[in-house]
Amino acid sequence: MISQLKLAYFVATLNATVIGITFLLVKLTLAFANPVDTLTYRFAVAFIVFLVPALFGFVKLGFRGKPIFSLLLLAALYPIAYFILLTFGLQHASSAEGGIISAMTPAVTMLFASLFLKEKNSWMQKLSLLLSAGGIVFIYLMNGSSNWSHTTGIVLLLLACITLAGYNVLARVVTQHFSAMEISFFMMGVTFISYLAVSLGNHLPSRTVDTFIAPLASPFFIGLILFLGVAQVATAYMANFALSRLEAAKMSVFSHLSTVIAIGAGALFLEETVTWSHLCGTAMIISGVIGMNMSWKFAKSSPEQLKLNE
């Protein structure tokens, strides 16, 4: 019989693997439709997955008398803004770079928590944050300083990272008023409606609705969207399960596996070039994130011990 701790580690590993693969799949969907249309289909699937059990009464939802505005703000950060920035960023940058930059999210989250939630960080943790930031700058200088399109992609991916970090901090406040199911259901519904409105707003005036529907003629595109939509829901549940049995700091380390998977998948299936600068930058980012998650408590010698050392 597998122990709960071992199961948690397995689920955390599986969760990180799925997230890493999604960078590749998002890149593939862009060959069939523009970023907003792909997001509309993706979150339509995710919302249906949440809607069906709610309609049949398998889950209980209650929003009356609760601070809906904070929930709207949360959804605006993630998934709405985050996936817009991520998807458009992946138009101009590689899926490997998307995975690399996303690895910095835990460090940015800790920075925001110290600013807005007054959580204290040691000077070593602050240096670790600078190390992660240095990894991003190193990758940019070595691969994108002369290419405006690539620079745009890097900037959008960085903004996606910052947006997700903002969500992580705000979620700590919102979860005091709403259950995880209520937050997930609301976020998926609002995000799907928002993306659908933008897609229709783009296609109806120009009479290009056929362009919006055209990708559905491809079984491959449908398969990608179904996987991404279900993965959106599955990763949320897997993360919650793992976090119920593992410390947050230990869980955050698994995000580095997503980076490795994203780099490997991009190189293997999309033949993306992974240079030594990508690998060095990744090492800097991951080392910085690990440093941010360490307590860095140094033992102080007692007066008696100091006398013995003289």
Q: 193 is written with which tokens?
A: 């409606």
Cα angle for residues 243, 249, 255 (degrees, 5° grid) = 80
CA dist list (Å): 25 to 87, 147, 230 = 11, 25, 13
Q: 275 is written with which tokens?
A: 């240079």
At residue 281, the pLDDT reads 85
CA dist list (Å): 33 to 30, 56, 80 = 5, 33, 18
At residue 119, the pLDDT reads 67
Q: 10 is written with which tokens?
A: 């397995």
Q: 22 is written with which tokens?
A: 């999604």
Cα angle for residues 11, 17, 19 (degrees, 5° grid) = 105
For residue 129, the surrounding DSSP H or E stretch is helix 123-143
At residue 251, the pLDDT reads 64
Residue recorded with tokens 């019989």: 1
Instruction: Read off the pLDDT of residues 260-277 as tens digits, 9 standing for 90 and up.
Output: 888 888 888 888 888 888
Q: Give the residue ranges of the chain where pLDDT is below 50.
A: 1, 298-310
Cα–Cα distance for residue pair 50/209, rounded to 1 Å: 27
Name the DSSP letter for residue 33.
Answer: S
Integer distance in angstroms from the first to the last C-alpha of the chain? 55
Query: For residues 270 and 40, is the Cβ–Cβ distance under 8 A?
Result: no
Instruction: Read off the pLDDT of residues 118-157 as tens digits, 9 standing for 90 and up.
Output: 767 678 877 887 888 888 788 777 875 556 778 899 899 9
Query: For residues 214 and 34, is the Cβ–Cβ distance under 8 A?
Result: no
Query: For residues 239 and 15, is the Cβ–Cβ distance under 8 A?
Result: yes
Q: 86 is written with which tokens?
A: 């991520």
At residue 249, the pLDDT reads 55
Cα–Cα distance for residue pair 179/211, rounded to 1 Å: 38
Cα angle for residues 187, 76, 129 (degrees, 5° grid) = 110
